[in-house]
Every structure is written in structure tokens, then in C-alpha cells.
Amino acid sequence: MNETTRIVIVGAGHAGGSAVALLRQYGWKGTITLIGDEPVPPYQRPPLSKAWLKGEASAESLALRPAKFYADNDVEMRLATTVAAIDRAGRTVTLADGEVLAYDHLILATGARARKLSIPGIDLAGVLELRSAADADKLKAALLPGTRVAIVGGGYIGLEAAASARALGAEVTIIEREARLLARVASTSLSAFFDAFHQEQGVAIELNADVAALEGEGGHVSAVRLADGRAIPCDVALIGVGAIANAELASAAGIDCAGGIRVDLSARTSDASIFAIGDCTHRPLHHYGREHRLESVPNALEQAKQVASALTGRKLPAHEVPWFWSDQYNLKLQIAGLSFDTAETVLRGDPSSNSFAVFHLAADGCLRSVEAVNAASEFMAGKMLIASRKPLARERLADMSVSMKDLL
């Protein structure tokens, strides 16, 4: 590495912004160019459905780093700029306006985008999604006391938006195609708990409900039409039906992809000069012996550390246990691990007290994942136990008189 070695980063989000900071912190002396298609420097998305949406966090507090950080650290920022193509043989990227930039190392941090529904009415005004700050501005402007919001999709973003919308006095209906909320991402016990909690907070929930169309009046959405013929009247429809990795740039350049850009544990793609980090990757999971795509801030940070370490010749960081959090009403959900190959479920605490944890064990008694609601000790200890692979005694795990520290 020398002062003329060039790193180009595509995507100025949580992963790209963190990689910049870590590269400089780890002593990268070469040039860094951070290219992002959004008009603003890297910011945090989690508050967009939570504290920020409720009006409890300022717009400035979303910034990943203060704006001057990039200039101070000699990072060239190209905002509102889209990368259109990668030329691997020539080691260049071409911008949408035709400009060509050369790289020695390329980092793809292109994130994911909200999945679109291809149904009639999807282009009506008042049909929103929630991925970017610009999306969030539109949603927030629409959420007034009494606004009727139909949320299509009962995943984390949908549930968090529902909780925030209730806090703002809006009327909320969640429409979910599956038989339960959080069907892809949580256990049945957790789904049942959140279903009951949202209903207590006045949210209407339609399960097994297929959306056939969005209907409008004067070009603005007025109802969600279900496949069974029923109409759910609304002033705003928020579509939150999952995210798709922005991997097209990589796959068009012939880089190995599998629903995300395939990387190793140093975040390197099938091209040794190209790395990929964050939501756009399909990555090995050290603790689970398989590959998967993750969508979380801790994942983006872990991979940013991997690439920064690889490029500055540092030892690779320790393997993290994947984790995630979600805030809804006064509930703090923290999840550690992934529920692969689980054989048994152990409940600790009483869901009716709004503080409990669901542990998922493999057949050998080792912890694979924990879902903790207002139960930070269970989450923190669970994260350690997943990494240590220590077999657990079910009775002790379920026994609240045994402290989590004693189970480590």
C-alpha cells in the first residue's frame, strides 16, 4: 500500500461509511473515494422507523459521522452519483454520466432496496415504502393524528412503523400474507406475543391476507383491496414486504452472486480486487457452517471491519454472533443468533409480564439463537453462549432463579 493506491467504495450507507472510518483508523494512507446515489452523507436507517419517525430523534442525529469528518479524513465524497458499471479487466467503474474512475481495490456496499409489489395501483400517490431518509420524510409527513395507514407486510419494519404511527395518533391496519406476523424472521411464540401486543395498542391485524390491488381516488390511494374481495380503506399505504440485495452491478460484471454478492470472511468476492460488505452480500456464517444474507447494522459493521483489516494487513476481527434489535412501543427486542438446525425451544420468563426470552437449542443442547423482549441479560448471555457452544441444561435455562451469569 502507498499513498497512490486507490480504494473506491460504491454505496455511501452504513457499511460504506463505516468502512471509510475504519480504513483511516487502521492507517490506510492511500486515496479513498466514496460514491453514493443518495444526496446525503452516510446515515443510520434504524431510527427511520423508530425514534426519528416518532419525532424523538433529530435529523442530525441520524448522520453516521459529522459532515466534516470526510473532509478531515481526506475522503473524496461523490454524492448523488450512481455507479453504472464495473470493468474488472481495466479496474475501473463507470458512473451514470459516463465518467470513468480507476481503482486498485473496489468495495461494493450497495445495500438492499425495498421489494416492489407488482399489483395494480402501486404507483398511486400515497403508496410509500421505507428504506431511505427520503422515503421516511414522506411517511412522516403523512402520519397525522387520525390518518388511516394500511401497512402491507408484517415484518420488523412494518411493525416498527405501526408502533410509531400509533404513537403519532394514526389508525393502523397491518396486512400480512402469511398466517403470522414476522413469519420469516421470528419464532411462533414471538409472533404471537407481538400480534397480541399490537392489537392491545389498537392496531388491526389481517393475517392470511393477500393484497390484490391498491385502489385510488383522484390518483391518490384510498383502499387496499384484498384477494378475498374485502377493501381496507386508507389514506396512506406503506409497503414493507422485504428487501432485495443490490447485487446487479456485481453480477453484470461476472462476480459470483447468490441472491447477494458472495464473499468470504475477509469480505472478498470472487474477484480478489473486489470486496463487498453489508446488506448486498451473501456471506459465510462462521458459527453456523453455512452461507446466508443478513440485513443488519451489526453485520454491516462486522464486514466493514473485515475489509478494512484485509486491506491494511491487520489480523481479521473475531467472528461475531449475528444480532439485531427492534424497538416497538416500550418493548426492546434483541435477537442473537439464527435459528438454523434447532431442535428445541425453551421459554424463560413470562410473556404476560412483557419481559421474557425464547431460546432455541440444537439437538446437542447448544444454543443457536435467543429472542429477548425487555430481557437484556438473556440477550447478552445468549450471545456469549452461542459463541462458546456450551451445551445447556434446559431446566436451569428456564429457571428464573438461576441467573444468566451462572449459565455462562
Partner 1 sequence: MPKITYIEHDGTEHPMEVPVGLTVMQGAVDNSVPGIDADCGGACACATCHVYVDPEWLGKTGTPNEQEASMLSFAAVTESNSRLSCQIEVTSELDGLIVRMPEGQH
Residue 328, contacted partner among ligand FAD, partner 1, none, CB below 5-8 A by kind: none
The torsion angles phi and psi of 259, rounded to 5 degrees, stand at 75, 0
Residue 250, contacted partner among ligand FAD, partner 1, none, CB below 5-8 A by kind: none
Minimum Å gap between C-beta 106 and partner 1 is 25
Residue ranges of the alpha helices (H) in 27-131? 68-72
Kindly give, in sequence order, each residue whose CB lies less than 8 Å from that of residue 103, ignoring residues fewer than 6 positions away.
6, 7, 8, 91, 92, 93, 273
Residue 13, contacted partner among ligand FAD, partner 1, none, CB below 5-8 A by kind: ligand FAD
Out of 129, 295, 302, 378, point to the residue binding ligand FAD (CB under 6 A). 295
Stretch that binds partner 1, among 112-120, 133-141, 147-155, 294-302 (CB under 8 A): 294-302
Tell me whether residue 222 or residue 269 sits nearer to ligand FAD (CB atom). 269
Rounded to whole angstroms, the Cα distance separating 357 from 351 reads: 8
Kindly give, in sequence order, each residue whose CB lies less than 8 Å from that of residue 288, ignoring residues fewer than 6 positions away.
338, 340, 341, 368
Minimum Å gap between C-beta 287 and partner 1 is 16
Residue 377, contacted partner among ligand FAD, partner 1, none, CB below 5-8 A by kind: partner 1
According to the binding rule CB under 8 A, does residue 65 interact with partner 1? Answer: yes
Tell me whether residue 304 or residue 397 sits nearer to ligand FAD (CB atom). 304
CA distances 104 to 35, 79, 92, 229, 272, Å, are 15, 21, 9, 57, 11
- Buried/exposed 107-124: b ≥16 CB within 10 Å, e otherwise: bbbbbbebeebebebeeb
Out of 376, 389, 394, 400, point to the residue binding partner 1 (CB under 8 A). 376
Rounded to whole angstroms, the Cα distance separating 258 from 263 reads: 10
DSSP string over 95-107: ETTS-EEE-SEEE
User: Which of the residues 236 through 275 are near ligand FAD (CB under 6 A)?
Assistant: 246, 249
According to the binding rule CB under 8 A, does residue 37 interact with partner 1? Answer: no
CA dihedral of residues 96, 97, 98, 102 (deg, nearest 10): -70
Rounded to whole angstroms, the Cα distance separating 329 from 332 reads: 8
According to the binding rule CB under 8 A, does residue 405 interact with partner 1? Answer: yes
Strand 243-245 relative to strand 112-114, pairing? antiparallel
Tell me whether residue 30 or residue 317 sits nearer to partner 1 (CB atom). 317
Out of 95, 384, 398, 402, point to the residue binding partner 1 (CB under 8 A). 384
The site map against ligand FAD for 347-386 (x = CB under 6 A) is ----------------------------------------
Rounded to whole angstroms, the Cα distance separating 370 from 173 reads: 29
The torsion angles phi and psi of 175, rounded to 5 degrees, stand at -115, 115
Stretch that binds partner 1, among 62-70, 131-139, 210-218, 244-252 (CB under 8 A): 62-70
The residues pairing with 245 across neighbouring beta strands, listed in sequence order, are: 112
Rounded to whole angstroms, the Cα distance separating 196 from 188 reads: 12
User: Which of the residues 297 through 356 are near partner 1 (CB under 8 A)?
Assistant: 297-298, 301, 317-318, 325, 327, 332, 334
Rounded to whole angstroms, the Cα distance separating 154 from 160 reads: 9
Tell me whether residue 273 or residue 377 sits nearer to partner 1 (CB atom). 377
Amino acid, single-letter form, for residue 368:
R
Task: Report, in this order, helix, strand and coil percent for the chain, each rounded to 5.
Answer: 25, 30, 45
Stretch that binds partner 1, among 80-88, 93-101, 284-292, 380-388 (CB under 8 A): 380-388
Tell me whether residue 52 or residue 222 sits nearer to ligand FAD (CB atom). 52
According to the binding rule CB under 8 A, does residue 72 interact with partner 1? Answer: yes
Out of 6, 131, 140, 332, point to the residue binding ligand FAD (CB under 6 A). 131
Element holding 161 (H helix, E strand): helix 156-167
- Per rule CB under 8 A, count of chain residues that contact partner 1: 28
The residues pairing with 59 across neighbouring beta strands, listed in sequence order, are: none
User: Which of the residues 28 through 57 are near ligand FAD (CB under 6 A)?
Assistant: 35-38, 45-46, 48-49
Q: Which residues bind partner 1 (CB under 8 A)?
A: 25, 44, 46-47, 50, 61, 65-66, 69, 72, 297-298, 301, 317-318, 325, 327, 332, 334, 374-377, 380-381, 384, 404-405
Chain residues binding ligand FAD by CB under 6 A are 10-16, 35-38, 45-46, 48-49, 82-83, 109-111, 130-131, 157, 246, 249, 278-280, 295-298, 300, 324-326
